[in-house]
Chain A
Amino acid sequence: MKIEIKRYTTEPEERSALITYEIDEKAQTLLEALNYIKTKLDPSLSFSSGCRSSVCGSCAVLVNGKETLACSHKIKEGDVIEPLKNMPILRDLVVDSQVAYEFNKKAKAWQSSHAKTQTLTIEDEKRNEVQSDCILCSSCFSACPVYSVNGSFLGPFALTRVWRYVSDARESEEQSKIENIQTNGIWDCTLCNECTIACPQGISSKGDIEKLRSKSAMHGFMDPNFAQSFGGGFSGGFGFDGSPAF
């Protein structure tokens, strides 16, 4: 079976090329195929992996343009493998995930303080059960189209994580958490749903962003785009003569 892999290196000079590899038929998953290439054909191939069972979030790549965990994908003839998008490529299939993970810090995606309560109902538990399944594979981050226009956008998984904490009965400072995601946050999302499609864990960041929007409204925050079109008077959308202003 043949698959193609996008290679990228900076040594001796910056180069990138799509290389075809002939894979042992025994390899079931893409990760096994990558290991086969590395140990049998070309030890310079670089990629990340860990658990082999879809839980450590190391091995996400693009397969035929779609975000996929290498350890959960069964290879097919002609598959084209590329690194994730929206993060700088370090080498071959390895991207600088730190760039994505930084957004958890910016979004303050944690519980504000130690909680005193020990009791949570099953209903409490269910509220963020799926969101806390996130494996930080960055697939959603790669799929999100907003980065091409706004590199400061907090992005899908960081916002899902904010929802995971804000919706938790143990969070005591909802207001400041919500305030922190108003700029470059929930209102910059176009609700295109690409993140949901990309997620291997069945998480919908789009859905979580919508929930954060209604929570924001409850806390007195408004969609700035919407607010502007009112508050900005005539300059906000239409020219004086009523024709659209571009």
Chain B
Amino acid sequence: MRECDVLVVGAGGAGLVAALNAHKAGAKVKIITKEYPTRSQTSMAQGGMNAALGNAGEDSVEAHIANTLKAAAGLGDEEMVTYMCQEAPKAVEWLNSIGVCFSRTEESKIAQRRLGGASAARACYAKDYTGLKILHTLYDRVLACEIEVLNERYLLNYITNVDEKGKKYIGGATFLNIRTGEVEVHESASVIVATGGYSRIYHKHSTNSSASTGDGIAAAIRAGARLSDMEFIQFHPTALKNSSILISESARGAGGHLLNSKGERFTNELAPRDEVARAIDAEIKKGEEIFLDIRHLGEHFIDEELPQERKLAKLYEGVDPVHELIPIKPAAHYTMGGIEVDNTSQTVIKGLFACGECANHKVHGANRLGGNSLLEIVVFGAQAGESAAEYSKDFHMPIDASLQRRRDENFIRGVKYFTNQIDFYQKREFIGNIFYNNVGIAREDMGLKAVLGAIRQIQKELPFMGPKDKSKHYNTNLVEFIEFGNMVELSEIVLVCAISRNESRGAHYRSDIPQANDIAYKAHTIVWKEDGVLCADFME
């Protein structure tokens, strides 16, 4: 039985905005997440959300478009970027209208600050808690609208059926109820995927939440959707060395220095993110250790402007930045690639929509500007919500979930009998390390191919892994194993794309081919599966 019109999977900023807009358009909406909404990674965003409001000096939508396209390095879709930047002021206005506590200026306007790559102070912020305050306010709005939210349910697969013309359409999704251990089927006329990115492939070398395992993207390609630009992964230059926790760009913006083991500065700290990350990476590969030095900014300034940074450095690295150097390294921060969507946020599967970091609306292209992803989740979250509501109005097709249900029930039952001769936690760490070293900031053909070999081997070994914990209720060992499976699936895709792209562009830097090649590669990498076999191509 179809229980709702729009099923939203994932309850970060993108999912909640989509749900609110679908609800507003009159659809019956249900949100399902593997955590609780307010625990989503969106809570971690500090810097801000871009909109050319011009509240802190002159700015224009045109400048926002130009900056975004420049960072995208030839892979930004002009139509989509223009739409996003034009919608930005409205998006901020809407957030303000539902009660988001933005920081304000003396003139009682929303305060804005300048982030890297922007020609003006364009990022609206709420102290260092921009994402937190946006996410919580959205959640409160969802409660006000009485939208149903189901927590602690893990997306396994989408349910698809085929119409008389042989075209696939969506019919809902299957979930593992983490609490009961049972497989649940949720039928729906349409599904919006908003499950976030896949930076956790880099494991301990990522700034992301442990939930960013790319589940919704892996399920999408399994169901027959297409993914694009998966090789583009942004590294943030300054994360704490041991924990990869983000040290905000403002530390460098305020005059922080980057030093190597000899105490020498080796790069312009204010260059774009990818340049700084590459400079650091090159030093590390020479055997240097890298430090961020903010001692000269003084205790007063640090306590006023960078209190979180001081706290986290003390806690995780055991150093006090007021008196000591902070050990840092670049870490995987944002995944530009994702589920391929059209200009209504729909995938090639009818009724399957995607938004947020899991989707590729081609607004970030080869590199994302800081502050554009919070913007993206609001603008395209709204679009996905409206599109899905519209689509489901005319949906009268039968839904048959029996096959998918049987498959997933068998899988959940069967996976507990996997032999456990190989520890998947060790492999997870291993993949993180080889990805960081070979599929990270600087890549070259040989290294990429070696990692691909290792990943294919791990794919074969999966049946010898599996959860050690065999219990039914709240089995996080099982959940982490399924997440691991999804990451292995996406790892192969990232590698195939990175190997095919024989050039350097944006965040994809090939040390063996350091130039861009517009004639061959100014195009999007598209991947899909045919009878389980991975196919890749370039498309304008």
Contacts and interface: CB of A to CB of B under 8 A. Distances in A.
Interface of A: 9-11, 28-29, 32, 38-40, 43-44, 46-53, 55-58, 72, 74, 90-91, 94, 97-98, 101, 104-105, 108-111, 114-116, 118-122, 124-125, 128-129, 132-136, 161, 164-165, 168, 170-171
Interface stretch (B90-98, B389-397, B440-448): B90-98
B477 A29 contact: no
Contact of B209 (A50, A72, A119, A161): A50
B18 to A, nearest CB: 18
8 contacts: A50-B43, A110-B143, A111-B140, A116-B97, A118-B109, A122-B106, A128-B101, A134-B136
Contacts of B38: 56-57, 135-136
Contacts of A90: 179, 473-474
Contacts, number: 160
Q: Which 9 A-B pairs have the closest CB atoms?
A: A110-B140, A39-B425, A91-B474, A111-B99, A44-B469, A110-B144, A119-B108, A132-B101, A43-B477
B36 interface: yes
A58 to B, nearest CB: 5
Interface of B: 35-36, 38-41, 43-44, 93, 96-99, 101-106, 108-110, 126-127, 129, 132-133, 136-137, 140-141, 143-144, 151, 179, 209-211, 242-243, 245-246, 308, 311-312, 315-316, 318, 425, 429, 467-469, 471-477
Given A46-B476, A110-B141, A136-B136, A129 B35 contact: no
Given A55-B43, A55-B129, A125-B101, 16 more contacts: A28-B318, A38-B477, A39-B429, A40-B425, A43-B425, A44-B471, A50-B35, A50-B39, A52-B209, A56-B41, A108-B144, A115-B99, A132-B126, A132-B133, A168-B101, A170-B97
Given A43-B425, A121-B108, A132-B133, A11 B471 contact: yes
Nearest to B42: A56
B44 A55 contact: yes
Nearest to A164: B101
A132 B144 CA distance: 17
Contact of B101 (A101, A129, A135): A129
Nearest to B317: A28
A173 to B, nearest CB: 12
A129 B128 CA distance: 11
Contacts of A118: 93, 96, 109-110
A74 B40 contact: no
A176 B133 CA distance: 24
A97 B36 contact: yes
A49 B140 contact: no
Contacts of A58: 35-36, 39
A108 B141 CA distance: 10
Contact of A53 (B137, B245, B473, B476): B245
A206 B470 CA distance: 44
Pick the most buried of B106, B129, B141, B429: most chain A CB atoms within 10 A of its CB.
Answer: B129
A48 to B, nearest CB: 8
Given A94-B474, A110-B141, A170 B99 contact: yes
A201 to B, nearest CB: 9
A74 B317 CA distance: 11
A162 B477 CA distance: 38
Contacts of B97: 114-116, 170
Contacts of B471: 9, 11, 44
Nearest to A126: B104
A58 B38 CA distance: 9
B179 A55 contact: no
A124 B41 CA distance: 28
A118 B53 CA distance: 12
A116 B429 CA distance: 50
B473 A57 contact: no
A41 B41 CA distance: 28
A39 B143 CA distance: 36
Contacts of A121: 104, 108
Contacts of B473: 9-11, 90-91
Contact of A132 (B44, B110, B136): B136
Contacts of B243: 28, 32, 52
A53 B44 contact: yes
A114 B477 CA distance: 43
A115 B96 contact: yes
Nearest to B44: A51
Given A43-B467, A114-B98, A104 B41 contact: no
B39 A111 contact: no
Contacts of A47: 476
